[in-house]
Amino acid sequence: MGIVDLTSMGESQVKLRNEINERLSRLQDEISDYCYQCAKCTSGCEAHKLLELEPHKIVALLKRGLIDEMINSDVIWTCMSCFKCRERCPQKVAPVEILFALKNMAVASGKQIPGNYTAMLQSVLSIGLIQDVKSITTRDNKTKSRSDLDLPEISKPTDSTKFQMILSKLAVEKV
Amino acid sequence: MSNKIGFFVCHCGINISSTVDIKELMEYAKTLDGVVISKDYKYMCSDVGANLIKDSIKKHNLDSVVIACCSPRMHEHTFRGVVEAGGVNAFNLEIANIREQCSWAHENKNLATEKAKALVRGAVAKAKLLESLETSKIKVTPKALVIGGGIAGIQAALDIAEEGHKVYLVEKSPSIGGRMAQLDKTFPTLDCSSCILTPKMMEVANHPNIELLSYSEVIGIEGSIGNYNVKVKKKARFVDMDKCTGCGDCMVACRLKDRISSEFDEGIGKRSAIYMPFPQAVPLKCTIDAENCLLLTRGKCGTGPLCVEACDADAIDFKQKDEEVELNVGVIVVATGYDLLDPTSLHEYGYSRSDDVITTLEMERLISSSGPTTGEIIRPSNGEKPKSITYVLCVGSRDETECTWCCRIGCMSALKHVYLLKEKLGEDIEINICYTDIRSFGKGYEEFYRKIRGMKTNFFRGRPSEVRKSGDHLTIDIFDTTTNKLFEIKTDLVVLAPALVSRADATDFTRILRISQSIDGFFLEAHPKLRPIDTFTGGVFIAGCCQSPKDIQDSVAQASGAAARAANILSKKELEAEPLISYVDEDLCSGCSTCLSVCAYNAIELVKDGDKSQAKVNEALCMGCGLCVVTCPSGAMQQHGYKDKQLRPMIEETV
């Protein structure tokens, strides 16, 4: 028969919802239907404190199949991928994985991604890291490198062409 | 008259001692006339406290005891036993309630101590005038009456019968089975309801200790614990129970076949004027519905009643009349069940406006393979299969304008229906559940709820404001608080889970039984935590939904509990009679009979002695409520343990 969101006149996008749920199943997480909205995820969400991400609401919208609303929103890009929500969910649902799926869908549908993300992506493609290794300044105003602190060197891709090829292959196949 | 009174004061941990100066109270008690010793202890109701009282009685040769402690409702019984064991008559005990009526009610220690002194002063004044009383014995009629033949009544009857006592099971409708017989499956195990119920019904029918009085109503009860005299009306079935074979030929022949709304099918199915409510009915006998039968209402049924023609057993007897029988029993178990709230009163949900708005119990009859559609799910309006079904939970429940309480079965019934409907209509059938909270509190219930969440069910957290007809469909607007969005649901069939309410005749029934109702209309238990099965009337117990809404598990458990409480009494040959009862001072009684009119237990009668008549108290029936004493204009009516001459000095000393 049908369920309509009267504010946006949006209807349930059943196919996309099932796609995301299948992805969750492949990752051995529970499908969103099991979520009973306790909001433990949001209680501990690092991004919520700064950027108003509400993982439980993401799950609620997914259950209702309102996918477009989410992939059109910047809020999905605020997840810091700390994985606490996945660790702590009493119903074994993983909001963080849902957010990954939504971000992938956003990219696949040609949505504009936030600027910082593009810069990070560029950096990964060129040096293999989201930002280059930097030195730090100590409290007594001295500059130290990793080797000064006896930390191991961070390895970078040796063959950047091959690395970029692997990355694009992954992006095409998603996860 | 007592001259040697022992005074004991309890600290009750710090419940009393933090507000009342115990030392000061002890010293004060010593100065009172008649008090020979004064002692305290932290918990007087403990073994150590009890021994202190017992030893003191012996050592000081006490003839009366005053204990300053909690309310007599808590420990009077305990302390009566203690003083009796110490060698003093159990009724030479007076309790000064310095907890509920003093320490708990006040904060100022000085003033509270002064009030405690006044209460003790009064208690000592009365203790001096107490008299020894002997407890008489009442013979117990070792039989039980169970009212109501639903699962609770069936369970209670079977349990008492298994204890070896005779049980009369009275059921108002033509068959036992009650609400459970109407259900298709039970949550959360999905047992077939009638498969687990009918064996119990058969057991009732065949048990040598159970006498089943179906199609009968209790119309009067007299007497008291141990000896109740019960009047039962056996309604005329117009069918000879000995001859009827239950073949059902008459039902097929009846001129009104499929014309009368079936109570058992919640109005979704139709029956004849002569009928059996369902195929597994116990007793398996037909009944003529006197309100609809053409012959009984109009005096004429075509050229002659077709049922008589169809009945090979010659069982139909239009001359039958209602009969009254009297039963003597020692105890009564009340298991009269519940009604569903008629959702018409919540007109916004359109129950009376659309055939496609039904109740959970009506859906139960649609799902049932023995139901009017043999288990086919249809829209009542057009007989078509629904593609979308929407449940509205808490209809009238948790609602200050209807029923303030939770029905305790709505959530689980709806979840059960999801499972059964997906089984019948395929997993892709759209089922929406509008809920306020899902309450899945029983054993295995939460797991069942999780299973249903995994079965493609749309849960909307919120209560719809209305159900509208739009064309061939029904439309519901619901604000879902999980997404903070307003949704419109277009659906084919709306199922309401209505509140559970007390039986329509519950109030009349409390008058017959002399029990009380709580504010919600259900029967009142003697204590919500510690005496949930007892009533305030001795020997009357309550089980199942007549006490409060509950599921089958809880009803059965409470019924077994009621049976155990009942058997407690039945297994005794004699009970101790209440000695604190009324008596008549014959020199003062003028025979005005005012006391008769107030006695709720019919314990007083007027006895003629020559041309003079006088009130007389039946000791077995008097419950010691004291109403006659305060009503008596001449002071002729007195109560043992509370005589005017004992109470007056107490009052004078206290105030």
Q: Decide: helix, strand or coil at residue B269.
A: coil
Residue B188 has pLDDT above 80, yes or no: yes
Cβ–Cβ gap A6/B461 under 8 Å:
no
pLDDT band at A131; cut points 50, 70, 90: confident
> In this structure, which amino acid lies at residue B434?
C
Average pLDDT, chain B: 95
| Residue B25 near residue B96, CB atoms below 8 Å | no
B458 in contact with A, Cβ within 8 Å: yes
Is the pLDDT confidence value at B263 over 70? yes
Read off the pLDDT band of B2 (50, 70, 90): low
What is the nearest CA distance from A43 to chain B, expressed in angstroms? 15
The C-alpha of B459 sits at a distance from chain A's nearest C-alpha, in angstroms, of 9
B102-110: which pairs have CB atoms within 8 A and are 24 or more residues apart?
B102/B16, B102/B19, B102/B20, B103/B12, B103/B15, B103/B16, B103/B18, B103/B19, B103/B20, B104/B15, B104/B19, B106/B19, B107/B19, B109/B19, B109/B20, B109/B21
Q: What is the pLDDT of residue B33?
A: 94
Summarize pLDDT for B351-371 with one digit per residue, the tens. Answer: 999 999 999 999 999 999 999
Distance in Å, alpha carbon of A166 to nearest chain B alpha carbon: 37
**B490 near A CB under 8 A:** yes
Choosing among B418, B468, B485, which should be mutated to test the A contact, i.e. which has the most A CBs within 10 A? Answer: B485
Contact A37 B438 (CB under 8 A): no
Cβ neighbours for A101, distance < 8 A, ≥ 6 positions apart: A19, A20, A23, A24
| pLDDT class of B602 with cuts at 50, 70, 90 | confident
**Cβ within 8 Å of residue B329, ≥6 positions away:** B141, B143, B144, B145, B168, B228, B230
What is the model's pLDDT at position A174? 53
Q: Which residue among A5, A33, A64 sits closest to B453, beta carbon to beta carbon?
A: A33
Sign of torsion, CA B113 B118 B122 B127?
Answer: positive
Pairing of strands B227-234, B323-329: antiparallel
Q: How distant is the Cα of A66 from the closest Cα of chain B, in angstroms?
A: 10
- Rounded to a whole number of angstroms, the distance from the CA of B265 to the nearest CA of chain A is 28
**Looking at beta carbons, which residues of chain A come within 8 Å of B430?**
1
**Residue-wise DSSP of B354-398:** -TTEEEHHHHHHHH-TTSTTTT----TTT-PPPSEEEEEEEESTT
Mean pLDDT of B473-494: 96
- Res. B390: pLDDT tops 70: yes
State the average pLDDT over residues B508-516. 91
Considering only alpha carbons, which residue of chain B is nearest residue A21? B454
Q: What is the arithmetic mean of pLDDT over B617-638? A: 90
Would the pLDDT of B51 be above 70? Answer: yes
Q: Is B276 exposed, middle or buried (0-12, 13-18, 19+ CB in 10 A)?
A: buried
Query: Which residue has 């690395």 as its token pair?
Result: A163
| A–B CB contacts, 8 A cutoff, strictly below | 61
Q: Which residues of chain B are within 8 Å of residue A91 when distances are taken between CB atoms?
A: 450
Amino acid at B492: D
Contact between A36 and B438 using a beta-carbon 8 Å cutoff = yes
pLDDT digits (tens, 9 = 90+) for B217-229: 999 998 889 999 9
pLDDT by residue (tens digit) across B304-329? 999 999 999 999 999 999 999 999 99
DSSP three-state, residue B622? coil
| Probe site for chain A from B478, B483, B492, B493 (most A CB atoms < 10 A) | B483
| Model confidence band, residue A172 (pLDDT cutoffs 50, 70, 90) | low
Q: Which residues of B295-326 are buried (b: 16+ CB within 10 A; e: fewer)?
A: bbeeeebeeebbbbebbeeebbebebeeeeee
Angle at B331 between CA B329 and CA B337, to 5 degrees: 110
Please, what are the domains in chain B?
5-127 (3.40.50), 143-231+325-337+503-570 (3.50.50.60), 249-310 (no CATH), 340-501 (3.50.50.60), 582-639 (3.30.70.3270)
Chain A: residue whose CA lies nearest to B430: A1
**Contact B387/A1, CB-based, under 8 Å?**
yes
Residues 6+ apart with CB under 8 A from A141: none
pLDDT above 50: residue A34? yes
In the numeric block, the tokens 């002194």 are attached to B117
Q: CB distance A3–B458 less than 8 Å?
A: yes
Among the partner residues A5, A34, A36, nearest to B485 by beta-carbon distance: A5
Backbone φ and ψ of B202, nearest 5°: -65, -40
Least confident of A94-108, B244-258, B517-531, B592-606: B592-606
Lowest mean pLDDT among A102-106, A158-162, B342-346, B523-527: A158-162
**A84 closest CA partner among A67, A103, A101, A97:** A97
The one-letter code for the residue type at B562 is: A
Contact B274, B285 (CB under 8 A): no
List the single residue in A with minimal CA-CA distance to B431. A1
Pairwise CB contact (< 8 Å): A1 & B473: yes
Shortest CB distance from B491 goes to which of A1, A37, A57? A1
**What's the average model confidence in pLDDT over A143-170?**
89
Q: Which residue has the tokens 């409060």?
A: B548
Task: Inform me whether the C-beta atom of residue B345 falls under 8 Å from chain A C-beta atoms.
Answer: no
Decide if A7 and B483 are in contact by the 8 Å CB cutoff. no
Q: Are residues A1 and B388, on separate chains, in Cβ contact within 8 Å?
A: yes
ipTM, 2 dp: 0.81
**Interval B75-89: pLDDT, tens:** 999 999 999 999 999
**Reported confidence tier of residue B231, pLDDT bands at 50, 70, 90:** very high
Please indicate whether, in this complex, the C-beta atoms of A1 and B489 are within 8 angstroms of each other. yes
3-state secondary structure A5-74: ECCCCEECCHHHHHHHHHHHHHCCCECHHHCCCCCHHHHCCHHHHHHCCCHHHHHHHHHHCCHHHHHCCH
Stretch (H or E) spanning B474: strand B473-480
Provide, as residue numbers in chain B, all residues whose Cβ is less than 8 Å from the Cβ of A61: 483
Confidence band for A175, pLDDT divided at 50, 70 and 90? very low
What is the arithmetic mean of pLDDT over B477-483? 95
Task: Give me B178's structure tokens.
Answer: 């009650």
Average pLDDT over every residue of A29-39: 95
Burial A83-121 (b: 16+ CB within 10 A, else e): ebbbeebebebbbbbbbbbbbbbbbeeeeeeeeeeeeee
pLDDT of residue A1: 64
CB-CB under 8 Å, A33 with B457: yes
- Residue B1 confidence (pLDDT): 60
- Judged by CB atoms within 8 Å, which residues 468-487 of B form the interface with A? 473, 477, 480, 482-487
Q: What are phi and psi of B36, to 5 degrees?
A: -105, -25
Does B280 lie at the interface with A, CB-CB under 8 angstroms?
no
- The DSSP secondary structure of B420-455, one letter per residue, reads HHHHHH-TTSEEEEEES-----STTHHHHHHHHHTT
pLDDT tens-digit readout, B151-177: 999 999 999 999 999 999 999 999 999
Question: What residue ranges define each of the domains in chain A, with the CATH number in brackets?
Answer: 4-108 (1.10.1060), 115-173 (no CATH)
